[in-house]
Every structure is written in C-alpha cells, then in structure tokens.
Structure 1
C-alpha cells in the first residue's frame, strides 16, 4: 500500500478531501497536527506549508509518502508552493487537486496557468470536496497510482 500526504496552504480543503476519501463529508475541523488514517494517508496542517520555519516539519512528514497531493484553492491565483520544494520531491509522484471549483467567480484557466508556471504538471483534478462524484474521481485516480482508499 502506497502512502500519500496532503500538503497545501491553510483553508484550501486538504482535511475536507482527506475525510471525504474515507466517506466522511461532515464539516472538517482545523488540522492542528499531522493526522494519519489506516489506509496510508497523511494530512498536514497548512501552517507547515505556509510558514518557512515549519518547512522542515513538512519535509520530514512527507518523506514517508510515495505520493504528494498538493491541494490548491480555485479562489487563489497565487502559487503558494515554497520555492524549490518540487526539487526535493523528484522521486515522488505529485498530484495536484484544485478545490472549491464550485464557488462563484472562480477563474480556472488563470489558476491552471499559475500552477503550470509554478512547475506543476497536469492533469489537475478539479473538484468540490462536498461532491461525492468529484471525490470518487480523486479516489479512482489515486487507486490507479497504487493507493488503497477505504
């Protein structure tokens, strides 16, 4: 079973997706610490990603995973990836999920362009974490990469 880890800024929907993949669509609480599930999933606090002094914690947490799932909000047209972070993970599969695509005034082409400019590669999985069909699409994609989902 391959391990996978969710990374991304605060409030982008990492925990909502992490929980939804396990069938829990309840309102997610703010992640205060690294959370693990029985299927090899790791959810990290957004602060790991957003504050340079916590990059070491993010890097040490992600070393256990073969797949890194970068979660980015469709509301955000700024790439929040720490500079050079993808170079550290050249031996890992990176999956990009764009959340909150259901919100009004979202400009997905602009978000996709920003992500490509940051060095992320398509496909980008564009989802609403509260839509079971979207969550199933992510689950199927991860299953094809060797991840066991519930």
Structure 2
C-alpha cells in the first residue's frame, strides 16, 4: 500500500478515516500532533489552517508517496489555496469525508470544486461511519 499523508481542517475526519482504513474501532480523538500509522501520516488540522505550519507539511510530504487533501462535505469554506497541491511535490488526491451526512448533490459538487481548485488529480467520496467509498480508496492506495 502506498504511504499516504492526510491533510485537512480540524474535524474533517482524517483520524476517523485512518481508523477505518487500518481496521481500528472508530472513536473520536482530537489529533494533537502528527500521528504515524503503518502506511498513513495523520496531521493535525492546525497544519493546514495556519500558514506557519506549511513548511512542516512540505517536509512531512517527503515521507509519503501520495497526499490526501481531506474535505468534510459539509464544510463550505475553501481551506486550501488555489493549486495548494503543487506545493507538496507529490501526487495529490482529494478525499471528501462524511458523505453519509449529505443528501444534496449540489453540496457534494461544491466540495469537489473546492478540491479541484486546490489541484488534486482524483477525488474519492467516503464515509468512515457507513464504510462507503473506503474500498475504492484502499484499492487506489494498493494499486
């Protein structure tokens, strides 16, 4: 499996996604520091929300084979600057989380547009709670 680094705002679902991918019990825990799973680097939300941490993100990206820009489907703000992905010098995918909470296709399309503006190559729609879309993401990482 390719080593992936997950980047996203506070509460976007990065840690819950990690737990689902590695088969752990789902439990909420605020990530206080960078956490390393066997093939996943889970970053705190503050790293993308405060520009002073961007250098740290760029340095950690060197350890990953692919970067996952995570976006909570219900988050309406653009947290990634245009072409943010290019600064990380690795292939970047978009991961829209918490899709089980969204029934409105236009909200989902808005999340996709924000990730495309950030410069991702491919987008996955997932729900760690309902286990939707997780298999497709894992298959991509194993490919």
Structure 1: gaps (5+ residues): 145-150
Aligned equivalent of 2:94: 96
CA offset at residue 101 of structure 1? 1.0
Distance in 1 (CA, whole Å) between partners of 2:111 and 2:84 is: 19
Aligned equivalent of 1:81: 80
The range that moved more, 80-89 or 108-117, is: 80-89
CA deviations over 1:93-130 (Å, ceiling 9, x no partner): 211110011114651122222322333333x1111111
TM-score by length of 1: 0.83
Structure 2: gaps (5+ residues): none
Aligned equivalent of 1:147: none
CA offset at residue 77 of structure 1? 2.5
SS in 1 for 2:86: helix
CA 1:86–1:132: 2 relative to 1, 3 Å: closer
SS in 2 for 1:5: strand
Distance in 2 (CA, whole Å) between partners of 1:105 and 1:7 is: 25
Count of aligned pairs: 141
Q: What pairs up with 1:23-62 in 2 under 5 angstroms?
A: 23-38=23-38, 40-62=39-61
Conserved in 1, the CA contact under 8 Å of 2:124 and 2:137? yes
Distance in 1 (CA, whole Å) between partners of 2:102 and 2:72 is: 13
